[in-house]
């Protein structure tokens, strides 16, 4: 009998590969204008959050833009697309009115309001793709705070392990050729793969490693 290699075991699921929920804060937009009470970190987000208090004493959270300070009012930053000038940078954009922020919520990412019509506007996303949105959708001016987090070194492997574990990612990773033959299709060799790395697209999950259905392989002829 064989055994499930890691890709097969992850596909089956189980306690070892199940990701618990670490989301504590629901990001929503409110109709009223609130006051920023505090800035805090969410372990599942790259951008910090702003805790906002509203006139009815309720509290909710929004993604903090760069330059936001405690005591400011959210009306200065959160606006409907019909009130945003063309060419402005925006983030945490609703896909339809009152849907809540859906687009561009990662630290440092921002879209651009290209043009506005009678009922809809054109927004260019960071991927350069353009989408048409209703003018009553809301967004936050500027870009999310926390940009540059990718340049920060991990320093310790344990910290990276915790972050990857919370997101369901494998860490540390070993190369396939360094494994045993029962653990990976490329394992068990001494000098290399031991087999061609091109694989059919119809191969089962445990065998689908390497170059999946390549158009061509090998060196190009001069």
User: Same structural domain for residues 128 and 158?
Assistant: no
Is 111 a domain residue?
yes
Q: Higher confidence at residue 166 or residue 36?
A: 36
Whether the full predicted model's pTM is greater than 0.85, yes or no, is no
Domain boundary among 145, 168, 201: 145
pLDDT of 2 reads: 64
What is the tens place of the pLDDT at every residue in 155-182?
999 989 888 887 778 888 888 888 888 7
The sign of the CA dihedral 145, 147, 150, 153 is negative
Give yes or no for a contact between 37 and 51, defined as CB atoms under 8 angstroms apart: yes
**The tokens of 183 are what?**
């653990």
Structure tokens at 196: 């061609």
Query: Of 104, 128, 145, which residue sits at a domain end?
Result: 145
Q: Which of 53, 22, 23 is nearest to 38 (CA)?
A: 53
> Domain range for residue 46?
35-145
The verdict on 117 and 180 lying in the same domain is: no
The mean per-residue pLDDT over the stretch 80-108 comes to 94
What average pLDDT does range 51-80 have in this prediction? 92
Would residue 168 count as lying in a domain? yes
Are 140 and 88 within 8 A, CB to CB?
no
Helix (H, G, I), strand (E, B) or coil at 20: coil
Specify the CATH number for the domain of residue 185: 4.10.950.10
Residue 87 has pLDDT above 80, yes or no: yes
Model pLDDT for residues 11-26, shown as the tens digit of each residue: 777 777 777 776 788 8
Place 185 in a pLDDT band, splitting at 50, 70 and 90: confident
Domain end position, chosen among 86, 113, 145? 145
| The pLDDT of residue 174 | 87
DSSP annotation of 27: B
Its sign, for the CA torsion 215, 219, 220, 221, is: negative
In this structure, of 40-54, 81-95, 190-204, the range with the lowest mean pLDDT score is 190-204
């Amino acid at each position: 009998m064989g055994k499930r290699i890691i890709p097969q075991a992850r596909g089956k699921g189980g306690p070892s590969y199940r990701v618990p929920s670490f989301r504590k804060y629901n990001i929503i937009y409110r109709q009223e204008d609130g006051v920023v009470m505090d800035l805090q970190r969410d372990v599942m987000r790259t951008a910090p959050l702003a805790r906002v208090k509203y006139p009815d004493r309720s509290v909710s959270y929004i993604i903090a833009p760069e330059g936001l300070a405690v005591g400011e009012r959210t009306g200065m930053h959160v606006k409907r697309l019909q009130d945003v000038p063309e060419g402005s940078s925006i983030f945490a954009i609703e896909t339809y009115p009152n849907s809540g922020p859906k687009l561009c919520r990662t630290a440092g990412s921002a879209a651009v309001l290209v043009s506005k019509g009678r009922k809809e506007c054109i927004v260019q996303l960071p991927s350069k793709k353009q989408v048409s949105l209703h003018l009553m959708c809301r967004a936050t001016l500027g870009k999310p705070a926390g940009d540059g987090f990718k340049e920060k070194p991990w320093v310790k492997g344990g910290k990276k392990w915790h972050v990857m574990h919370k997101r369901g990612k494998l860490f540390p990773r070993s190369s396939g050729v360094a494994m045993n033959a029962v653990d990976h299709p490329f394992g068990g060799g001494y000098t290399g793969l031991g087999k061609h790395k091109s694989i059919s697209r119809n191969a089962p999950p445990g065998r689908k490693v390497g170059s999946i259905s390549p158009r061509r392989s090998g060196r190009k002829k001069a």
